[in-house]
Amino acid sequence: MASMSGAFIVPPGQGRHLDLGNFEAVVLATSAQTAGQFTLLQTQSEPPEFGPPLHLHRDAAEAFFVLEGEYLMFIEEEQTLCPPGTFVYVPRDTPHTFKVVSAGPGKKLNFFSPAAMVQYFEELAEAEATGSATPELLDEIAARCNVDVLGPVPDSYL
């Protein structure tokens, strides 16, 4: 629900749902809604051992807030266990990844500033829906979205 000033509220259970195969994303705030200031997604149903390839964002900083499950965050050469309630900030151009290390699924908020990454998740969801998701396609989507993939794509990601 948006107001005349551009303020908006996303009630619980709302937002645009993207099915990414092994996990889901809910788009809570887009570039258009925030005048390019930030984007906010909730990623959820991330299974144990799930995680993306090592990567960096050329156009935005990324922050995570862990809601459920435990994550092992890899930022540059550091590894840190992140239980629910943990906040993580990753500056732009900083290599990072994560892995769900809890017995149950992970759920977290993903904040990008300035606005970024919604197109990445939309294109990945489309590839998953059509059965065309491959590591090669992931590299192409990432390149279009100012992401450099630095490591191999884990089997759990696609």
pLDDT at position 157: 87
pLDDT tens-digit map of 94-146: 999 999 999 999 999 999 999 999 999 999 999 999 999 999 999 999 999 99
Kindly tell me if the per-residue pLDDT of 60 is higher than 90: yes
142 assigned to some structural domain: yes
pLDDT at position 153: 86
pLDDT at position 4: 65
% of the chain surpassing 90 pLDDT = 89
Q: How confident is the model at residue 154 (pLDDT cuts 50, 70, 90)?
A: confident
Number of domains in the chain: 1
pLDDT at position 2: 61
Kindly tell me if the per-residue pLDDT of 83 is higher than 70: yes
Torsion on CA atoms 19, 25, 27, 28, rounded to nearest 10: 140
Mean pLDDT of the region 29-50: 96
% of the chain surpassing 70 pLDDT = 97
156 assigned to some structural domain: no
Mean pLDDT of the region 16-30: 96
| CATH number of the domain encompassing residue 113 | 2.60.120.10
Give the structural domain span for 91.
16-149
93 assigned to some structural domain: yes
Kindly tell me if the per-residue pLDDT of 3 is higher than 70: no
87 assigned to some structural domain: yes
* Contact call for residues 87 and 139 (beta carbons, < 8 A): no
58 assigned to some structural domain: yes
pLDDT tens-digit map of 84-100: 999 999 999 999 999 99
Peptide bond into 114 cis (omega under 30): yes
Give dist(CA 38, CA 55) in Å, integer. Answer: 19
Kindly state the tokens that stand for 48. Answer: 């144990």
